[in-house]
Amino acid sequence: LSGLATLTGPRHGGAWTGVTVLAEKAASVGVREAIRSMLSSEGVVRPFGHRLYPHGDPRARALMASFEAPPLYASLAEAGEELLGEPINIDFALASLAATFNLPEDAPLVMFALSRTAGWLAHAMEQVESGHLIRPRARYTGPGSESGA
């Protein structure tokens, strides 16, 4: 449940909204101007690049290869990579998929949450089977950690 609760932030789970805003702006002022505008106002264009995948998000590549994106999204992907030097990420791919199939507005979040849930369940099953935590990346050091809590 705590994992699902984190999906409401602008960087994790909520990043698809930036794609929607970018596409709406691109439809009115053009793809390059929309990208430049987002970059100048926010300092980042979240639909492009991913810190864990410096050479491109393989999830986005696989998903985009499975359908033909609307022309606006295809143009945004091309212009964004050219202007920013970074390819699209999974948030862009999910928003593009939702636009392609005219899915409900929050479909990218729902698809992201469902896929993450499947992954979390797989990890939990592996941990139960192995008897220990897998891939621990952090150690809690906040209040109560001194007493072993």
Q: Which residues are catalytic?
A: 50, 91
Contact (Cβ atoms closer than 8 angstroms) between residue 69 and residue 77? yes
**In this structure, is residue 138 part of a structural domain?**
no
Whether 41 is covered by a domain: the verdict is yes
89 in any annotated domain: yes
Question: How much is the average pLDDT of 67-72?
Answer: 97
Can you name the residues that pair with 13 across neighbouring β-strands?
9
Q: Model-level pTM?
A: 0.80
Per the structure, the complete domain to which residue 103 belongs is given by 2-130
Residues 81/58, Cβ–Cβ less than 8 Å: no
How far is the C-alpha of 66 from the C-alpha of 64, rounded, in Å?
5
Residue 130 has pLDDT above 70, yes or no: yes
Coil, strand or helix: which one is 104?
Answer: coil
For residue 95, is pLDDT > 50?
A: yes
State the Cα–Cα distance between residues 23 and 41, nearest whole angstrom: 16
Whether residue 109 lies inside any domain: the answer is yes
Could you tell me the end-to-end alpha-carbon distance of the chain, in angstroms, rounded to an integer?
A: 21
Q: How many separate domains does the chain show?
A: 1
- Of 1-5, 103-107, 138-142, the range with the highest mean pLDDT is 103-107
Does residue 18 fall inside a structural domain?
yes
DSSP codes joined into one string, 1-39: -HHHHGGGBTTTBSTHHHHHHHHHHHHHH-HHHHHHHHH
From 6-15, 103-112, 113-122, the region with the lowest mean pLDDT: 6-15
In a domain, 146, yes or no: no
Domain membership of residue 149 (yes or no) is no
